[in-house]
Amino acid sequence: MPDFYREPERQQFHFSCRRGWLNDPNGLCFYRGICHLFYQHNPGGVVWGPMHWGHATSRDLLHWEEQEIALFPDEHGTIFSGGAVVDLMNVSGLGTVENPPLLFFYTAAGTPFTQNLAVSLDGGRTLVRYAGNPVVPNLYGDEERDPSVAFDPEAGKWRMALYLGDRSQEFALLESTNLLDWRETDRFPIEGGRECPELLRLKDRRTGGYRWVLLEANGRYLVGGIERGRFLRENAGIFMLRPGDRAGYAGQTFKNQPDGRCLYIAWQQDIIRGDRFSQSMTLPVELRLEGGELRVFPAAELEHLRGECRSGSDVRSLPLEGELFELDFQLPETEIILNLGGCYVAFDLAGGELRCNARKYPLPSDARHWRAWLDRNTLELFEGEGRCYFALPLDRRAQGVVSVSGAGELRQLSAWRLHATLPAAEQGGVPAGR
């Protein structure tokens, strides 16, 4: 048995590739019971380098099986980010209705950058480049990249969001009826936004109507409508906080999700911890639109990781040993500073402020309920109503899971020991749930 996954810094329930570097998730989709996770991948080193598309599959979003590399660099350039479409009605003509093609839009990062298409007719196992590439030529002479495609049922057209490069830092909308021929219909900035757009059509749980949502890599979003190809902004916000230079980044949602949920995974930016692999993905989370605001919740599948639970009331800590935990806690009304696996987070409900890694964020005064997931060197923290979420790397914890630093007590604290999702022989010598 190869010693894959035996590194002491290896995440135990976050996806990381066996060897090499990974970053942005790409081409996320469900098809016939399988969820596909493609990703930016440098198989030849633990730093960013010649980009390929790596590939992993899962049936539950928790246990991932790494597949062969899906796309290699060619004469048109290295393979940058992009998204998936399951062409169920075969409007592209590249498959059949009985065997619909899976279409993967990606950027060929050559000279110039262009938007290209790869096709799978075997359920995502193998990808073949479209003979008519590029499907979108270079538009403005910059490093235009990261296509995201979604269907607009009101217009009967497909929409593509595209980043137009760092010179303008603008985003474009394009449209098509056949997923092959595209024309630009709009371009606009997102304040503080950069690259990796993700275009979604979500039902607002409060109003019952559908709105368009556009995400970007840093966790900002726009909400609005699309009329005659133009994006009509109605609201903007931040759904994923970035408390430092390394955090969740450049996420994407799973297309063709069978139960209608909008599930999202991002790149968990990290330091380089070894010489054989580097970086991981965040946990899967669910995005919901409520009253024009985007909310973020841990995916329900994560409950399957739970093992033994310990809980207490009016506590400063629980005597916990191990590395893998889910925490559920209630804050007091007074300011409190928590040590969560070595990360200090200050919650000041009266002052309306959360402080982490020398940065400050607005906090609702009623944000008392929180949930957290601790892997070997990752913290993911969720406010109970979905109004605040961040994922960030930690120094590997020698001891300590959660405790109060300074005055105050938690009103309630529950801690579940979690099971690892790696094969038993590849858990780095750490028993599941430790």
pLDDT in tens, 269-310: 999 988 999 999 999 999 999 999 999 999 999 999 999 999
Which of 210, 204, 103 lies closest to 148, judged by CA? Answer: 103
pLDDT tens string 347-389: 999 999 999 988 999 999 999 999 999 999 999 999 999 999 9
pLDDT tens string 325-340: 999 999 999 999 999 9
Phi/psi for 125 (5° steps) reads -70, -40
Point out the catalytic residue in the list 3, 24, 204, 366. 24
Cβ neighbourhood burial of 167 (10 Å; 0-12, 13-18, 19+): exposed
- Contact between 124 and 34 (Cβ < 8 Å): yes
pLDDT tens string 216-254: 999 999 999 999 999 999 999 999 999 888 999 999 999
Report the share of the chain in percent with pLDDT over 90.
Answer: 89
Range(s) of the chain covered by CATH 2.115.10.20: 20-298
pLDDT tens string 70-119: 999 999 999 999 999 999 999 999 999 999 999 999 999 999 999 999 99
Tokens of residue 26, six digits: 């790409």
> Distance between CA 30 and CA 102 in Å, rounded?
10
pLDDT, position 387:
96
pLDDT tens string 200-218: 999 999 999 999 999 999 9
* Residue 124 pLDDT > 90: yes
Range(s) of the chain covered by CATH 2.60.120.560: 304-420
Phi/psi for 424 (5° steps) reads -55, -35
pLDDT, position 398:
59
Which of 242, 248, 257 lies closest to 200, judged by CA? Answer: 257
Query: For the residues 396-413, what does the mean pLDDT come to?
Result: 86
Could you tell me which CATH number the domain at 304-420 has? 2.60.120.560
Query: For the residues 23-28, what does the mean pLDDT come to?
Result: 98
CATH classification for the domain delimited by 20-298, as one of 3.30.565.10, 2.115.10.20, 3.90.1150.10, 3.30.450.20: 2.115.10.20
pLDDT band at 426 (very low <50, low <70, confident <90, very high): low
Which of 419, 133, 130, 195 lies closest to 301, judged by CA? Answer: 419
* Residue 147 pLDDT > 60: yes
pLDDT, position 431:
35
pLDDT, position 434:
33
- Average pLDDT value over all residues in the chain: 94
For residue 126, the 8-state DSSP code is: -
Instruction: Examine the residue annotation and report whether 348 is marked as an active-site residue of this protein.
Output: no
Q: What's the chain's Rg over C-alpha atoms?
A: 22
Query: For the residues 38-67, what does the mean pLDDT come to?
Result: 97
pLDDT band at 428 (very low <50, low <70, confident <90, very high): very low
Query: For the residues 122-127, what does the mean pLDDT come to?
Result: 97
